[in-house]
Structure 1
Amino acid sequence: MATDEWAQWHTAHEQQLASPHGFLAITSLNFLNETPQRFPDAPGSWSTGAGGVIVELADDESLIVDGAKVGGRVELGVIAERGGINVEAGDAVIEVAKRGGFDIIRPRHPSNALRSEFHGTPAYEPTDKWVLTGQFVPFAEPRDITVGAAVEGLEHIYESPGQVEFEALGTPLALTVFNGRTPGSLFALFTDETSGVTTYAANRSLAIDVPDPDGTVVLDFTRATNLPCAYTDFATCPLPPAENRLPVAVEAGEKIPYERAGSLS
C-alpha cells in the first residue's frame, strides 16, 4: 500500500470538503414554494413556481449573478434535477439547486464554525487487504433506482448500469453501482457492519474507475468516503439501495467525523 499516495489523496479530499464555499460552509437548507420567504443568512425574498426560482431584492440588497451585480426582481429560471447555480452575496455564495424534485437554497458562508473549526476526518490506516478486485456485470438495460435521502421525505433516482461482484473476508458480495462523474466510471453507496459503530451510519461512497474491457474493476475501500450528510444536517445525500448493506465489517476508509462522534445517525 502506497501510504504517501493515500495521504495525499485524503488531504486533497478534505481540502475540497472544507473549501471556502464547500459543504462545511452551509448555514441552512431551505425548501422553496410559491410563497416568498426570507431567510436570515441570505438576502432577498425567495420563491419558486412553474417558471423557476425567483428572488426579490430590497432596495439595499444585491446579488452577483454570472459576474454581474443585480437587484430588484431576479428570475433564476428552472433548475434541472441535481443541477444548480451559485450566486454571490458578499463573501457568501447562495447555492440554488433542485434535489428530489424540490427547489432549494443553501447559503454557504466561509465563516461558518463547522468549516472554520474543521480539523480533518479520522480514517482507518490504509492496507492492501481492502483493495479488492471485482467484476462489473451490466444489466441488460440500465435501470432507474429510487433511493432514500438524508432528509426525511426526499427521494433520489439514479440510473444504474449494473452490479459489481466481488469477495471480501471469504464472503461473495455484490454492489449495485451508479454512473460516476467521468464517462464510464462508477460509484457505489453502501453500509456495512461498521456503520453506526466506527463509520457513519447512513452511508459511505466508493468511487470506481472505468472497468477494463473484460469487466474487471478495482474496489479500493481504503478510499471509501463520507458523504456531506456525515458532517452537516443541511445535506440531501442519497442513501444506499437496500441490497448494498454489506454483511461484513469493511474496516477501511473514512470513519465517523469528529463532529458526529456524539450523535450517531
Structure 2
Amino acid sequence: MTVQDVETDTFAHDWQEWHNGHEARLADPHGFLAITNLHWLQETPERFPDAPGAWSTGPDGVHVTLAEGEELILDGTPLHGDHTFGPIPERASLYPKAGNASIEIAKRGGHDILRPRHPENPLRVAFTGTPTYTPDPRWSVTGRYIPFPEPRPTTVGAAVEGLHHVYDAPGRIEFDLAGEHLTLTVFNGHEPGTLTALFTDTTSGHTTYAANRSLHIPTPTPDGTVHLDFNRAANLPCAYTDLATCPLPPTENHLPVAIEAGQKTPLERA
C-alpha cells in the first residue's frame, strides 16, 4: 500500500465518521426528526395536543399552566401548576421533559415558540439516512480569512416565510474552487474561534437542497489560512422538516459553481 493509498483511506474514514455523527444527531430520539409541530406562542394561553399545559408568552417570558395530573421535568426538577420560564435569548432553547417527549421552548426571529419532540414521530421512525456525494479530496481546499474591521450585523431570511435572523458576520473567506475565485461571508461557529458558512451553489434545487447548506470551518491560523472541506457540506434541519426555522444564506453566498460534494437533497424531499 502506498502513502497515497493510506492518505485516501484516512480521508474517507474521517469523512464517514463525520457523516455518521451528523446522521446520529439528526435521528436522536429528541432530534429534529422527532419534532411534531411548531407552535407560535401568544399572550392568550393555548393548549396543544402534543404538549401538556396551557402555554403563553409576555413581558416576563414563556409561561405554562399545568393542570392536575400534568407534569414537566426541567433539569431534574418536577414542575406543576403555574411556571414562568423567563425571557429566552435569541437562538437559545430549554428542553423540559414530558414522559418520553422533550418540549423545546425557544426564541427564533424574536418570537417565542414551542416545538415538542416525540421519539415515535413518523418522520424519525421512517428515516433511513441522507444521500451524499462520494467524498473526493479535490473538494477540500485552502482559503484566506479576512476579518472585517468590526463585525457586520447581517440580516438573512429564514425557512419560515416572514421570519428573519440577524447574525454578526466577523469576516469573509476568499478561496479558489472549480476554476473560480470565490468569496463567502461567514458567521461565528458553535465552538469559539470556528466559523460557519451558509451557502447555495448551482447544484441547489437539483441534486442538493434548494434553500441552503452549511459548512463548518475550523479556526483560522494566525496568518488567516483556513481549510474548507466541501465534502462536509451539511444539510440544515429545514432540509428534512418544515418545522425548522433555519437561516438562509446571505445574498453574496450564492456561489456560481457546481459543488458536487457533501450531502444531497434528503429522501424526505425527493
Tell me the TM-score normalized by structure 2: 0.95
1:66 CA drift (Å): 2.2
Specify the code of the residue in structure 2 equivalent to 1:228: P
Q: What does the per-residue CA deviation read over 1:15-47, in whole Å, with 9 as the maximum and x for residues that have no partner?
A: 011111010100000110101111110011100
Distance in 1 separating the partners of 2:207 and 2:266: 10
1:194 CA drift (Å): 0.2
Q: What does the per-residue CA deviation read over 1:112-158, in whole Å, with 9 as the maximum and x for residues that have no partner?
A: 11111111100000001100110001111111100000001110011
Match of 2:187 among 168, 173, 178: 178
Residue in 2 aligned with 1:130? 139
Distance in 2 separating the partners of 1:52 and 1:66: 18
Tell me the TM-score normalized by structure 1: 0.97
Aligned: 1:253 with 2:262: yes
CA RMSD of the aligned region, Å? 0.7
Specify the code of the residue in structure 1 equivalent to 2:224: G
Alignment of 1:1-265 (within 5 A): 1=8, 2-261=11-270
Q: What does the per-residue CA deviation read over 1:199-246, in whole Å, with 9 as the maximum and x for residues that have no partner?
A: 000000000000011101011000000000000010000000000000
Specify the code of the residue in structure 2 equivalent to 1:118: F
Distance in 1 separating the partners of 2:67 and 2:151: 48
Distance in 2 separating the partners of 1:16 and 1:84: 16
Poorly superposed stretches of 4+, deviation over 6 Å: none
Distance in 2 separating the partners of 1:211 and 1:66: 36
Query: Which blocks of at least 5 consecutive residues in structure 2 are unaligned?
Result: 1-7
Specify the code of the residue in structure 2 equivalent to 1:56: T
Specify the code of the residue in structure 2 equivalent to 1:192: D
- SS at structure 1 position matched to 2:19: helix
User: Identity over the aligned pairs, expressed in percent?
Assistant: 63
- SS at structure 2 position matched to 1:207: strand
